[in-house]
C-alpha cells in the first residue's frame, strides 16, 4: 500500500511551468480578479502548479473528530490526501490519472470505507478544482483558467479537470483575498444511493502566507452551502500549518 501511495503522489505532482510571478501576468484581467492575484501572490514567487500541504482540524464522520493530514495538490490534475482521524482511522482520498478513490481503515486493519467508480471520480475532480484556493499560482490565466467578475462583486473561475468542467464562485475581502467559495459538486450528501449535483462550499476565517502565496488558511466546508441546510451539510473544519509550492524543474 505504501508503494501505491508513493506512485500516486508522483503522478499527482507536476513541476512546471518555469518562471516567477509578476504583476504583468494579470494585466488585462478584470480589476477585482487582478486585485486577488496581487494580494495572493508575492512578486517573484515561482509559478508552481503543485503544492505540498500539511493541515489539521476536525471532520464530521457521524460526530466531530480531530484529524491531521498531508496532501499533494495539483488542481488541474488531482490530489492525494492522506490523513489520520480520531487517532485510529487512517487512509486516503485521491484523484489520480482521471480516477477517484477513497480507502479508510480502523487501526490499519479493518476497512471502514472504500469507494471508486465514475461518481467518486467526478466528485473528487471537483474537489481538486475547489482546493485551488490553496495554490493560487495554479489559477493564473496562463494555466487555462477563464476569469470573470460578476455584477454582484463575486469572482468566477472556469476551467477543466480531466473530463469535468468546473465553475467556482468566490467572494473576497476588502484586501482582495478569497473569503468564500461556492460551486455545484457531484455527490450523495444525504446517503440516498443516488448521486447528483448539490450546492457545496464554505467560508474562510483566516489567511496566512506560505512560500510566497497568501491563502485561506482556516475555514469550514461542506454540502448545502448557501441553503438552510448548511449547518447539517458542513463536515470539514481545517487549519493549514504548512504549505510549499513545487516550482519548475
Task: Give the dihedral of Cα atoms 113, 114, 117, 122; nearest 10 deg.
Answer: 50
What percentage of the chain exceeds 90 in pLDDT? 78
How confident is the model over 134-139, as a mean pLDDT?
A: 96
Residue 198, pLDDT score: 98
Query: What is the pLDDT of the chain when averaged over all its residues?
Result: 91
* 57-61, 64-68, 113-117, 133-137: the lowest-pLDDT one: 113-117
**At which residue does the C-alpha cell 467508480 appear?**
117
pLDDT in tens, 143-196: 889 999 987 779 999 999 988 999 999 999 999 999 999 999 999 999 999 999
* Residue 53 bridge partners (DSSP): 71, 243
* Residue 82 bridge partners (DSSP): 70, 92
Residue 216, pLDDT score: 98
b/e map 199-212, b = 16+ CB within 10 Å: bbbbbbeebeebbb
Residue 12, pLDDT score: 52
- DSSP string of 206-229, one letter each residue: EEEEETTEEEEEEEEEEETTTSTT
User: Which is it for the CA torsion 55, 236, 216, 7, positive or negative?
Assistant: positive
Q: 1 pLDDT band (50/70/90 cuts)?
A: very low
Q: 18 pLDDT band (50/70/90 cuts)?
A: low
Q: Other CB atoms closer than 10 Å to residue 2's CB: what's the count?
A: 6
The answer to whether 234 touches 202, Cβ cutoff 8 Å, is: yes
Residue 15, pLDDT score: 47
Residue 17, pLDDT score: 52
- Give the cell for residue 156: 468566477
Contacts 24+ apart (CB under 8 A), 200-205: 200/126, 200/130, 200/224, 200/225, 201/130, 201/225, 201/226, 202/234, 202/236, 203/179, 204/133, 204/178, 204/179, 204/180
What distance in Å separates the CA atoms of residue 183 and residue 197, rounded to the nearest whole number? 10
* Residue 200 bridge partners (DSSP): 183, 223
The answer to whether 12 touches 78, Cβ cutoff 8 Å, is: yes
* 47-56, 93-102, 147-156: the lowest-pLDDT one: 147-156
The answer to whether 200 touches 185, Cβ cutoff 8 Å, is: yes
pLDDT at 16 over 80: no
pLDDT at 248 over 60: no
> Which of 7 and 96 is assigned the larger pLDDT?
96
**At which residue does the C-alpha cell 478513490 appear?**
101
What percentage of the chain exceeds 70 in pLDDT? 92
Distance of CA 209 to the CA centre of its chain: 17
- What CA–CA distances, in Å, run from 4 to 93, 99, 128, 161? 13, 14, 20, 22
pLDDT at 237 over 80: yes
Q: Other CB atoms closer than 10 Å to residue 125's CB: what's the count?
A: 26
How confident is the model over 50-64, as a mean pLDDT?
A: 95
Amino acid at each position: 500500500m505504501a508503494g501505491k501511495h508513493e506512485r500516486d503522489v508522483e503522478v499527482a505532482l507536476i513541476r512546471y511551468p518555469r518562471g516567477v510571478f509578476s504583476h504583468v501576468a494579470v494585466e488585462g484581467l478584470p480589476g477585482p480578479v487582478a486585485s486577488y492575484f496581487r494580494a495572493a501572490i508575492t512578486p517573484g514567487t515561482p509559478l508552481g502548479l503543485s503544492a505540498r500541504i500539511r493541515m489539521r482540524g476536525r471532520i464530521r464522520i457521524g460526530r466531530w473528530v480531530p484529524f491531521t493530514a498531508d496532501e499533494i495538490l495539483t488542481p488541474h490534475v488531482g490530489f492525494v490526501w492522506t490523513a489520520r482521524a480520531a487517532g485510529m482511522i487512517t487512509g486516503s482520498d485521491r484523484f489520480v490519472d482521471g480516477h477517484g478513490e477513497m480507502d479508510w481503515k480502523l487501526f490499519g486493519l479493518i476497512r471502514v470505507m472504500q469507494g471508486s467508480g465514475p461518481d467518486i471520480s467526478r466528485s473528487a475532480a471537483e474537489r481538486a478544482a475547489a482546493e485551488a484556493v490553496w495554490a493560487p499560482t495554479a489559477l493564473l490565466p496562463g494555466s487555462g483558467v477563464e476569469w470573470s467578475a460578476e455584477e454582484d462583486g463575486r469572482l468566477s473561475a472556469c476551467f477543466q479537470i480531466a473530463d469535468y468542467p468546473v465553475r467556482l464562485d468566490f467572494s473576497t475581502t476588502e484586501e482582495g483575498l478569497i473569503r468564500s467559495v461556492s460551486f455545484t459538486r457531484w455527490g450523495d450528501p444525504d446517503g440516498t444511493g443516488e448521486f447528483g449535483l448539490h450546492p457545496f462550499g464554505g467560508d474562510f476565517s483566516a489567511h496566512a502566507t506560505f512560500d510566497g502565496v497568501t491563502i485561506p488558511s482556516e475555514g469550514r466546508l461542506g454540502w448545502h452551502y448557501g441553503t438552510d441546510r448548511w449547518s447539517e451539510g458542513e463536515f470539514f473544519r481545517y487549519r493549514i500549518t504548512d504549505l510549499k509550492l513545487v516550482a519548475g524543474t
